[in-house]
């Protein structure tokens, strides 16, 4: 008889992969994408191991149309738009 320990679902980290259209990218966004086995070539950004995606919001908390944030395991994020701009998200200090 073997025993298996199962972790609760909320403790499980699910990592995703996505291909994005890319016309411009900041150096820090490219660094972050490459640090998680992704790359940018021929107008496509291959983003690996991101853990969460959400709509991007402006400084007033309103959803920005056609813009999204992808968060990585180190809590850094990139913002991308459907028109191909990708940038690194500057985290607010506490």
- Residues 38-68: pLDDT tens digits? 999 999 999 999 999 999 999 999 999 999 9
pLDDT grade for 90, boundaries at 50, 70 and 90: confident
Q: Scanning the structure block, which residue is given the tokens 């908390």?
A: 61
Is the backbone of residue 42 left (phi > 0), alpha (psi -120 to 50) or beta? Answer: left
Q: Give the CA count within 13 Å in the CB-facing half-sphere of 1.
A: 1
Does the pTM exceed 0.85? Answer: no
Taking only the tens place, the pLDDT of each residue in 18-46 is 999 999 999 999 999 999 999 999 999 99
Q: How many CB atoms lie within 10 A of CB 32?
A: 22
Which two structure tokens, joined as six digits, stand for 35? 């640090």
Ramachandran angles phi, psi of 2, nearest 5° = -110, 150
Q: What is the pLDDT of residue 92?
A: 61
Which two structure tokens, joined as six digits, stand for 89? 């998200």
> Helix, strand or coil for residue 42?
coil
């Amino acid at each position: 008889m073997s025993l298996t320990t199962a972790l609760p679902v909320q403790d499980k980290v699910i990592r995703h992969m996505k291909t994005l259209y890319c016309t411009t990218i900041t150096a820090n966004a490219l660094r972050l994408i490459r640090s998680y086995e992704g790359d940018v070539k021929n107008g496509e950004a291959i983003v690996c191991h991101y853990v969460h995606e959400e709509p991007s919001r402006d400084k007033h908390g309103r959803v920005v149309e056609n813009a999204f944030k992808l968060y990585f395991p180190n809590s850094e994020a990139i913002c991308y738009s459907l028109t191909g701009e990708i940038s690194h998200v500057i985290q607010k200090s506490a």
